[in-house]
Structure 1
Amino acid sequence: MDQTGYVTNKNSRPGLAVAALSIGTALNPLNSSMIAVALVVLREDFSLDVATVTWVITAFYLASAAGQPLMGRLADRFGPRRLFTFGMALVAVTCAIAPFLPSFALVCVARALMAVGTATAYPCAVVMVTELSRLANEPTTRPLGRIQMANTSAAAVGPVVGGLLVSLFDWQALFVINVPLALAALLVVQRAAPADTGQETGSLGKLIRDSDIPGILAFVVSLMLAMMALLNVMPGFRWHLLAAAVVIAALFAWRELRFSPPFLDLRLLGGNRPLLLIYLVFIVFSGVYYFAFFGVPQLLQEAGNYDAGLVGLLMLPLASLSVVVTPFTVRLMERFGVRAVLITGVCVLTIASAALGLLTLSLWPPLVLVVTAVMGVPYGAVSTASNQALYVSARPEERGVAAGIFQTCRYLGAITATVLIGVFYGPGVNQANWGLMVWVMLALSLVVIVLSVMWKKPAAGTSHL
């Protein structure tokens, strides 16, 4: 056993293990995006209205956002390979059963369970990166870059894959496709990744007592209530949900400051300035990105009268270029450092946001292709640099829960963007209102620049490493 807490296994194949972890990590963004093309079919099959059918998306978002930090904490405590295996098994079993479920409510439950299972992958991958990069004799930027590339490409191809599956088969295929992917990831990680050792052991009763169950429940409930308020899933009760979320969050903080060991050590988190800054960077950055990702398609369909197929093709360069940029970002970080690449990426974000303002003048398809593609550059660069900044900012024993919170930051940014898009597009989806959103994107881009300049990699030997 080495100092990282893993057994040095001659059979470990780090490259293969990273590939399997990347597949597992890709399942969450893949399933969050490809379901969008099945909403009409689900409405017809279950005789639903528009508001009800969106719960198939909401259930996945809520479970993912709340599940990521929890899965990260469990990975820190009990070992990433064990938890990854559990998560992929849960996905495989759930997705094998889901096509035969008789009601829409049960389909939503299956989506939530699938979200919990896929939520294990990214935190487990981050926890395993140190040992896998050591075994491969390469810097951690490279495996993290491959994992980020899987995240990005899955989100890009999700609508395309979903459209093909639904058109060739039916909505049930969106579940079935996950079964072989999850099983492949599970089996390869079991064979190629180093075994977990050094994690918590003891009687079941002691492990439960030390798990801070009330703290976990308070965290999950407060986050879910806040997300439900942002998503406005219960019209007329938004402020009640938000108030309840604040009260439960306060009780959670009171509990965590007094319980040992806490689910989330707020004192250490509060004292880790680099980690808090990178969370803020990623929330605001995600908000800017999802303004474009969700706002432009609506503009093209409503104001440009483009059909959904053409809109999908026009948006593809945004996601595709972000995938292409990722490996170059990894090389630049190795040469110039994380901070320099992060700051450069967010400066390009500001330029890309300004370029999207050209859509207030014209929705000419070639122009749309160019300006959306430009947004793909900062998405690939900033996402990859933020991943590495998270890794170096978090303490090794808390990288799992830190990675889970990082993913939740993505959801917070995305949901905030959708809420604001609803506000600006409320009077009408037109180029004038899109112009107002561009000004908001520019303002948020400047905030991201300031936060990125404030972030600095912790020095070796500090409490953050």
Structure 2
Amino acid sequence: MSNFGLDAALLFIKSKFLMAVRQTVSVSNQSRTSLAVAGLSLGTALNPLNSSMIAVALVVLRADFSLDVATVTWVITSFYLSSAAGQPLMGRLADRFGARRMFMLGMGLVAVTCAFAPFSPNFAVLCVVRAVMALGTAAAYPSAVVMVGGIAREAGMETARPLGRIQMANTSAAAVGPVVGGLLVGAVGWQALFLINVPLALAALLIVRQVAPRDGARERGTVAELVRASDIPGILGFVTSLLLMMMALLNVLPDYRWWLLGAGTVIAALFVWRELRFTQPFLDLRLLGRNRPLMIVYLCFAVFSSAYYFVFFGLPQLLQEAAGYNPGVVGLLMLPLAAMSVVATPWAVRAMSRFGVRRVLIYGVVLLAAAGALMWTLTSSLAIPLVLALTAIMGVPYGAVSVASNQGMFVSTTPQERGVAAGIFQTCRYVGAITATVLIGVFGADGVDQASWGLMVTAMVVLSVLVFPVTLLWRERTV
């Protein structure tokens, strides 16, 4: 063979070898990216999963701890209060000290607290454990949003794709929570709702530790400086104002109801005053003041969550108390909601690519109002086919509005703001959920029956109608 022929053959072999190497590296990078997104999805899903699994355990907890409807709701509100305070704080810490570190720290906290939760000696301790667990889950979502940017850049894809997968996991977890919770409570008891989190949190921690992009340079500083920068008074003011208002609405102390409401209002006003003047506020209200699209997204999502969580926490109690279905059956009756949410989420992602975030958000709110109105039929019948049809219908607006709101938040902020913005976004969810649970305690003070369900449906429809004109104001912001 001539030298020319030999060189050509070697060049051909070299080119094929390099092509094979590039393909292998590409497949490896794709697998790594998929695994990283899966780990983040699993970790972020623990918060909505635990917020919804507990819905089918409320009646069992009432019986085990001899509680009334208003009191048992504290197992929900303690979780949401901690999450609402923890999300913005964890978002800021993720921005400052590294999203990967905060994610793993949060998952470790979830695993430890959930291992000890089943041994809680009384209901008060159980609520405290739920609050600490919520703080761990609160680290996951804002950390994941920060990490998504780096993962998308490495994979050469748009951020909407990994964000859509994470949102799909969150939507599915929240929707499937009552199903999983019903099976666990029916087979083992409420204790299983905590134990299931231990392997899930550890799996998320290990996956992210192994494949997620490493954090950049870590911010230095003393613990005292960190505490000062964390705005502890702001956090305490936020939680205290919500707590006092909830106690007033639930009439925990009848003789002091108006005093509690007044004190909560005053503390809320002081909280706003401080946050607008503090250098590094816990809840960056100035971010909202200079970013109208973001403020509209937050308002829409908070009101949407208020309407939606009437179904999430009210319907399982209605089915158990009024229809006499056991927790396992109730979980299965909520299954269509999970299935339709899973179907609606990727549809919403594709629809946003074609029609834009705004249209999907508007149509989702319209569907929510329609689905809420149909829920009125449960005041006259709790037949299984009717319940299955209505929960399936409710899954569509849940998937659409959740993913559209999430993408609206993302495109309305700069990369430097997204950790904090994602934390506040989740706080809006929790404020909405707290509002729904408090009103369920008010409407169903003597038990959730078809009469009190009618009041809840009315509230759902009113909230959906109120949020509709707000969605019309949203426009995508160029950042």
2:277 counterpart residue number: 258
2:172 counterpart residue number: 153
Q: Is 1:288 aligned to residue 307 of structure 2? A: yes
Letter in 2 for 1:178: N
- CA separation of 1:220/1:43 partners in 2, compared to 1, >3 Å: closer, same or farther? closer
Letter in 2 for 1:279: Y
- Tell me, yes or no, if the aligned pair for 1:141 and 1:333 is still in contact at 8 Å: no
* C-alpha distance after superposition, 1:272-321 (max 9, x if no partner): 11111111111111122223334444554555555554443333212321
* In structure 2, distance between residues paired with 1:381 and 1:164: 27
Q: Is 1:334 aligned to residue 383 of structure 2? A: no
2:369 counterpart residue number: 350
Letter in 2 for 1:245: G
2:238 counterpart residue number: 219
1:183 counterpart residue number: 202
Letter in 2 for 1:401: V
Structure 1 stretch 305-314 or stretch 285-294: which is displaced more? 305-314
Taking the TM superposition and a 5 Å limit, the aligned residue runs for 1:1-400 are: 13-38=32-57, 48-50=66-68, 54-198=73-217, 200-230=219-249, 232=251, 234=253, 236-301=255-320, 304=323, 306=325, 308-360=327-379, 362-400=381-419
* In structure 1, distance between residues paired with 2:315 and 2:120: 35
* In structure 1, distance between residues paired with 2:307 and 2:73: 23
- 2:277 alignment partner, SS class: coil
1:444 counterpart residue number: 463
By how many angstroms is 1:168 displaced? 4.0
- CA separation of 1:25/1:234 partners in 2, compared to 1, >3 Å: closer, same or farther? farther
Letter in 2 for 1:69: P
- CA separation of 1:310/1:259 partners in 2, compared to 1, >3 Å: closer, same or farther? closer
Structure 1 stretch 34-43 or stretch 376-385: which is displaced more? 34-43
List gaps (5 residues or longer) in structure 1.
Answer: 1-8, 460-464
- Tell me, yes or no, if the aligned pair for 1:230 and 1:416 is still in contact at 8 Å: no
By how many angstroms is 1:400 displaced? 1.9
Letter in 1 for 2:372: S
Determine what percentage of the aligned residue pairs are the same residue. 69
Q: CA RMSD in A?
A: 3.1
* In structure 1, distance between residues paired with 2:138 and 2:261: 24
- 2:280 alignment partner, SS class: coil
2:25 counterpart residue number: none
* In structure 2, distance between residues paired with 1:311 and 1:353: 19
* In structure 2, distance between residues paired with 1:404 and 1:119: 8
Structure 1 stretch 173-182 or stretch 115-124: which is displaced more? 173-182
List gaps (5 residues or longer) in structure 2.
Answer: 1-27
Number of residue-to-residue matches in the alignment: 451
- Tell me, yes or no, if the aligned pair for 1:350 and 1:442 is still in contact at 8 Å: yes
- Tell me, yes or no, if the aligned pair for 1:231 and 1:415 is still in contact at 8 Å: no
* In structure 2, distance between residues paired with 1:265 and 1:417: 25
2:17 counterpart residue number: none
Structure 1 stretch 279-288 or stretch 195-204: which is displaced more? 195-204
Letter in 2 for 1:332: A
* C-alpha distance after superposition, 1:120-164 (max 9, x if no partner): 111111122222222222222222222222222222332333343
- CA separation of 1:40/1:256 partners in 2, compared to 1, >3 Å: closer, same or farther? closer
Structure 1 stretch 12-21 or stretch 357-366: which is displaced more? 357-366
- CA separation of 1:99/1:292 partners in 2, compared to 1, >3 Å: closer, same or farther? closer
- Tell me, yes or no, if the aligned pair for 1:12 and 1:193 is still in contact at 8 Å: no
Letter in 2 for 1:15: S
* C-alpha distance after superposition, 1:143-201 (max 9, x if no partner): 22222222222223323333433444444333222111111111111111111115532
- CA separation of 1:321/1:248 partners in 2, compared to 1, >3 Å: closer, same or farther? same
Q: Is 1:414 aligned to residue 406 of structure 2? A: no
Structure 1 stretch 120-129 or stretch 364-373: which is displaced more? 364-373
Q: Please, what TM-score do these two structures have when normalized by structure 1?
A: 0.86
- CA separation of 1:102/1:421 partners in 2, compared to 1, >3 Å: closer, same or farther? closer
